[in-house]
């Protein structure tokens, strides 16, 4: 299976915000919600706004689901599953993550 790649220090991501990392030529949006100790990774491309911007969206809890609201047109994408709450037919890729020694790792 895919292996984990180290992308940045946990402290590089301000609490409750996201960053974008380049992992094997893929743009990956990584979020650090204040709600959990975990980090989440999804593809950075907003299929509706058609731009690489999801990492810059606001982390938003909708009925118990942690999502990111697109900074362009505000659709919500689940951080866990990548599905778009406003349009069932859209689901973006999610990636496995883990935190080790205060470093963030992502597996494609």
Partner 1 sequence: MTNKQNLIVIGNGMVGHKFLESLVESEQAPNFNITVLCEEPRPAYDRVYLSSYFSGKTAEDLSLVSDGFFETNHIQLKLNCSAEHIDRQGKTVTTQQGEILSYDKLVLATGSYPFVPPVPGHERENCLVYRTIEDLEAITAGAKNSKVGVVVGGGLLGLEAANALKDLGLETHVVEFAPRLMAVQVDEAGGALLKSKIQELGVRVHTNKNTQNITDGDTCKHKMEFADGESLETDLILFSAGIRPQDAIARRCDLELGARGGISINNHCQTSDDNIYAIGECALWGGMIYGLVAPGYNMAKVAAQHISNSGAASFEGADMSTKLKLMGVDVASIGDCHARSEGALSYAYTDEVNQVYKKIVVSADKKLLLGAVMIGDAEDYGNLLQMALNNIELPASPEALILPTLDGAAKPMLGPDALPDSAQICSCYDVSKGAICCTVQDGAQTLGDIKAETKAGTGCGGCTALVTQVMNSELAKLGVEVNTDICEHFAYTRQDIYNIVRIEGIKSFSELLSKYGKGHGCEICKPLVGSVLASCWNEYVLDNKHIGLQDTNDIYLGNMQKDGTYSVVPRIPGGEITPDGLLVIGQVAKDFGLYTKITGGQRIDLFGAQLHELPQIWERLVAAGFETGHAYGKSLRTVKSCVGSTWCRFGVDDSMGMSIELENRYKGLRSPHKIKFAVSGCTRECAEAQSKDVGVIATENGWNLYVCGNGGMKPRHTDLLAQGLDKETLIKYIDRFLLFYVKTADRLQRTSVWMDNLEGGLDYLKQVVIEDSLGMAEEFERQMEAVVESYQCEWKTTIESPDKLKRFSHFINADKPDENVQFVKERGQIRPASESERMKKDNLIAIS
Q: Is 59 in the site for partner 1 (CB under 8 A)?
A: yes
Q: Which is nearer to partner 1, 66 or 94 (CB)?
A: 66
90-95 own/partner pairs: CB under 8 Å, 24+ apart: 90/47, 90/48, 92/42, 92/43, 92/45, 92/47, 92/54, 93/42, 93/43, 94/40, 94/41, 94/42, 94/43, 95/23, 95/28, 95/41, 95/42, 95/43
Q: Which is nearer to partner 1, 20 or 108 (CB)?
A: 20
Q: Which is nearer to partner 1, 11 or 96 (CB)?
A: 11
Residues near partner 1 (CB under 8 A) are 7-8, 12-17, 19-22, 27, 30, 33-35, 45, 49-53, 56-64, 66, 69, 71-72, 74
């Amino acid at each position: 299976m895919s292996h984990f790649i180290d992308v940045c220090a946990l402290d590089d991501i301000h609490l409750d915000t996201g960053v974008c990392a380049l992992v094997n030529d893929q743009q990956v949006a990584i979020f650090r919600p204040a709600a959990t100790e975990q980090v989440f990774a999804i593809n950075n491309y907003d299929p509706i706004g058609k731009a690489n911007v999801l990492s810059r969206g606001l982390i938003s809890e909708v009925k118990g689901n942690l999502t990111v609201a697109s900074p362009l047109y505000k659709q919500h994408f689940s951080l866990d599953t990548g599905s778009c709450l406003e349009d069932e037919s859209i689901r973006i890729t999610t990636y496995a993550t883990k935190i080790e020694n205060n470093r963030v790792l992502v597996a494609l």
